[in-house]
Structure formats: structure tokens, C-alpha cells
Amino acid sequence: MLKFLARTTALAAMIAVTLPAHAETLKMWGPEQITEPLVAQLWNGIKADFEKANPGVTIEFMPPTGTISNGAVQAAIQSDAGPDVILTNSGIGRISVVKNAKQVMPLTEQYEKRGWKDQIYPWLYTELKSQFGGEIYEVPDGLDALGIWYHKDVFDQAGWKIPATWAEFEALMKSIEATGLQPIAIGPRTTGSAGHLFGNLLQSASGKEVIGKALRREIAWDDPSVAAGAVRLQKLVEAGDIKKEMAGLDLDGASRLWFNKRAAMFVAGPWFTANARKAGYDLTNAGYAPMPSDIKGAAIPTGGVGWSWLVPVNSKQPELAMKWIDFTLSDAVMKKRAQDPASTMIYPREIPGVEPPTPVLKEIFAAAAGGVGYNPSVYLPGPVLDTYFQVIQGLISGQIGGEDGMKQIQAKMAEAK
């Protein structure tokens, strides 16, 4: 009897000793908005749930110091103190940069093994599969839907509304300008933000199909049907509807104009709610509408994959990282996030019966329900992205015309494989 007890105690002791020995830390890079208190609250809740379900595991958030576009993610992966799993802005262009530098691991197997392929929209899975010859390096976490944010009170007072045709939209901008407000604020120094406005203009001028063809290289970017959007931007800058001085602004500088109501409109996505909250802007006053278009069915938000999970090749906790991704893809977590006021994006699969608590988010989800157009920033190959963003800067600062700009983009597209 004693012997049995002794052995059991010894066994129990061994187990007790080894269990905490598995106390592991998963370092997570992101999310981008974690410095906003409500977002931090949501994620701390998710972290707590995961830690409860996996005793001995701790999640440590690493507030992002930047994105793939400005090299911060690459620098972090490169350093030895790097993250074990990353949540950052994605899209084929950005992913290809880190994939080519061999900094992230392929996750294709996990999609099959862990059933991730059934947990995202089918069209999303097909799209991902087609990008790198069948290999997938990211797990989408959020989709973007970019459209026009406007101030309900300012518009109501002046009797304005977002019209249905482009000509009326131009006229609207003229009336806004006449009152001394900036019609549209834009911060091209933040490359992503530049792409939001430009993508909307391209979509509105050419429609989803044409832009899709251009992205698949079936039409050239300097073909007039595609360049139309760039030419529109050029004309807006020439007409003074978009001030050249904005070329020196970044996202925060431009959104500052909007939050202070010195600008009437701003192109952004659902993530803008976090920026607004930080700036103390009353979100019930925010209105959202897609950019008007003369093409039938083209007045929709643009978007695509916004943020994805990546696993660095030197992740110290690859298994744990996969487990974490499983967790975030689960129904429970997705519902929790969708219903939280800090919700900042559209989810990668349908979540039935969930209503976002913030009114403007409702408007965005409704607008995106019929499908979104392409945000080229997320679909362009890596080497083209830099030129793409620089051309937008050039257009806004009046240094280059629409057609020339598109020619430069086309040249890069032809080069890239």
C-alpha cells in the first residue's frame, strides 16, 4: 500500500514538475490598434480566454512599430527577440516581400490539416491558393472595405448628400470647397492610405471587372480604360479639390483635418473607428458611403484582405502559433470580436446573427454585403507596390499626370513575374 502511494506521489510530483516546465510564452506582434484602450481591452479578453484554455501558456503582445511596407516587420523577424506569430497588413504584394526574403513559413499544410480552408470564405481560399502557385503564407484575419467617411451633421446642415453620379460628386466637391472646407483629406505619406483613395477612384472610374483584369495583367495599366481613375485624380488636384499640400501629410495628419471638421470627406475602412475614438470624435456622427460611379454596380467599397496572420520562420513557438490561429478562427472568438464595440474590420467568414454595435460599422457591413471591389494595394505584386504608392504621391503633389503615372506602374507590372 505504502509502495503504491509512494509511486503515485512520485508520479504526481513528476507530472507537477513537468507541467509548469511547459510554461510557454507566445509573442504576438499586433494588433495594430492595440494602443487604443478599447481595442486593448478586447484583445486582453481574448488572451485571457486562450490562457484559460491552455494552462501554462502566456500570450505577450508586442505593439507593432510599423508594417511590412516600412520594413518594421522584417526588422522584427530578423532580430532574435522577434515575434512568434504576427498580425499585420497583408495582401499579396506585402506577403511576397517577406516570402521572398524567406522570413515566413508556408501554411498550406495547416489549411488542410487543421481545416482552416473551411473556416474562411471559399472565394478567399481560392484567391489565396492562386497567389503563390498553391502555397499559402497567410491566414486572413480581417477584410477591409474602403469608402467615404463624412460628417452627418455638416452634411445635414448644408443639405449635402453623397450623390449617385460622378458629375454630381464633382459638383458636391465644388460646393464644399466654396464653404472653405477641404472636400477630401488624404495623407499619401502613409502608403496604405494613399492606396485607399486611389483604389476607390480606380473602381469608380473603371468598375470591378476592368480593375480585376488589370490586376491579372489581362489589360495594361496605361490602357485608357484603366488609367481613367488616375486621370480623375489628376483633374481633382488641378481643380484644387484635393490640395497639393496634402502630399506631405500622413494618415494621422490627414485624419486630423477630418476629425477637426476642416475636411468634409475621408476615404477609410472600418478600422477608422479606432482612430476616431482615440481622437475623441463622436462616432454616431460618422456617415459612410461608397464612392459614386457612373458604371452600374460599381459604387461599392473597395477592399480585399486587410490583415493576416503570419508565422515567422524563426518562431520559437510554431505549434503554439498554429493553436492560436485555430483559436482566433473559432466561432466563439469571431463572435466575441464582431460584437465588441472595438470591432474594426470585416471578418474572413460569414458570422450569422451578429450585429456590429457601432452605427457606422453597420453601414459599412451593409455596403460591403453585396461584394467589394479591388483595393490594388492588396493585390499588386511586391516590386510594383513601391512605384504604385510613389506615383500616387506624385499625382497629389502635381508632379506627374495620370497617364504618365500609369505608364510607370505598367512598366513595373511588366517587369514583375
Partner 1 sequence: MVIPETPGKVVAPLSTAPAVAGHTGGTFARMSKRGVAGSGSSDGDAGTAFWLMAPALALYAVFTLLPIAATFWLSFNGSAGFNTSASFVGFDNYAKAAQDPIVWKGLAHTFLWLAYHVVMAGGLGLLLALAVSRLRITQVFFRAAFFLPHLVSLAVVGVIWANIYDPFFGLMNTALTRIGLGAFTQGWLSDPALVLFSVNIASSWQGFGLYMLLFIAGLQNIDHSLYDAAEVDGANAFQKLIYVTLPGLREVTTFVVSLAMINGLKGFATVFVMTNGGPFYQSELITTYIYRLAFQSQDHGLAAVLCILLSLLAIAITIVFNRWRARLSQ
Partner 2 sequence: MSVRNREWPVALALTPALILILAPFLWLVVSSFKTEAEIGRADPFTWPADLMWRNYLDAWQIGGFADLVGNSLINLVGVVVLSLVTCAPAGYALAKIRFPGREWLFYAFILGLTVPVQAIVIPLYQVLFGLNLVNTLAGIVLVQVSNGIPFGIFLMRSFFIGVPDDLIEAAKIDGASHFQILTKVFLPISTPAVQALVIISALSTWNDFFLPLIVLISPEVQTLPLGLVRFASTYASDYRLVFSGTVISFLPIILLYILMQRRFTEGLTQGAIKG
Per CB under 8 A, residues contacting partner 2 are 35, 62-63, 65-66, 75-76, 78-82, 250-253, 255-256, 259-260, 275, 278-280
Helix or strand holding residue 374 (H, E):
strand 373-374
Q: Which of 388, 386, 382, 384 shows the shortest CA–CA distance to 400?
A: 388
Note whether 47 binds partner 1 by CB under 8 A. Answer: no
Q: Which of 291, 272, 285, 323 shows the shortest CA–CA distance to 139?
A: 323
Note whether 246 binds partner 1 by CB under 8 A. Answer: yes
Q: Please select the residue that binds partner 1; options are 88, 89, 103, 255, rule is CB under 8 A.
A: 103
Closer residue to partner 2 (CB): 82 or 304: 82
Least distance to partner 1, CB of residue 194, Å? 10
Phi/psi at 53 (5° precision): -75, -15
Write b or e for each residue in 368-390: b if 16 or more Cβ atoms lie within 10 A of its Cβ, otherwise e: beeebbbbbbbbbbbbbbebbbb
Least distance to partner 1, CB of residue 247, Å? 4
Give the contact letters, 174-193, x = binds to partner 1 (CB under 8 A), - = no: --------------xx----
Closer residue to partner 2 (CB): 39 or 409: 39
Strands (E), 30-138: 57-62, 85-89
204, HSE (Cβ side, Cα atoms, 13 Å): 28
Least distance to partner 2, CB of residue 137, Å? 22
162 binds, among partner 1, partner 2, none (CB under 5 to 8 A by kind): none
Closer residue to partner 2 (CB): 25 or 65: 65
Report the amino acid identity of residue 376: P
Strands (E), 82-197: 85-89, 139-151, 182-185
Note whether 240 binds partner 1 by CB under 8 A. Answer: no
Least distance to partner 2, CB of residue 163, Å? 30
Three-class DSSP category at 372: coil
* DSSP per residue, 272-339: HHHHHHHTT--GGGEEEEPPP-SSTT--S-EEEEEEEEE-BTT-S-HHHHHHHHHHHHSHHHHHHHHH
The backbone region for 409, taken as left when phi is positive above 0, alpha when psi lies in -120 to 50, beta otherwise, is alpha
Least distance to partner 2, CB of residue 170, Å? 29
63 binds, among partner 1, partner 2, none (CB under 5 to 8 A by kind): partner 2
Q: Please select the residue that binds partner 1; options are 32, 33, 69, 375, rule is CB under 8 A.
A: 69
Note whether 390 binds partner 1 by CB under 8 A. Answer: yes
Can you say whether the dihedral through the CA atoms of 82, 85, 89, 94 is positive or negative? positive
Q: At what angle do helices 191-215 and 382-396 cross, to 10 degrees?
A: 120
Q: Quick one: cell of 271?
A: 478600422
Note whether 257 binds partner 1 by CB under 8 A. Answer: yes
35 binds, among partner 1, partner 2, none (CB under 5 to 8 A by kind): partner 2
Strands 263-268 and 286-289: unpaired
Least distance to partner 1, CB of residue 76, Å? 11
Binding residues for partner 1 restricted to 109-128, rule: CB under 8 A: none
Note whether 381 binds partner 1 by CB under 8 A. Answer: no
Stretch that binds partner 1, among 111-119, 251-259, 271-279, 282-290 (CB under 8 A): 251-259
Binding site for partner 1 (CB under 8 A): 69-71, 74-75, 78, 97, 100-103, 188-189, 243-249, 253, 256-257, 262, 313, 383, 386, 390-391, 393-394, 396-400
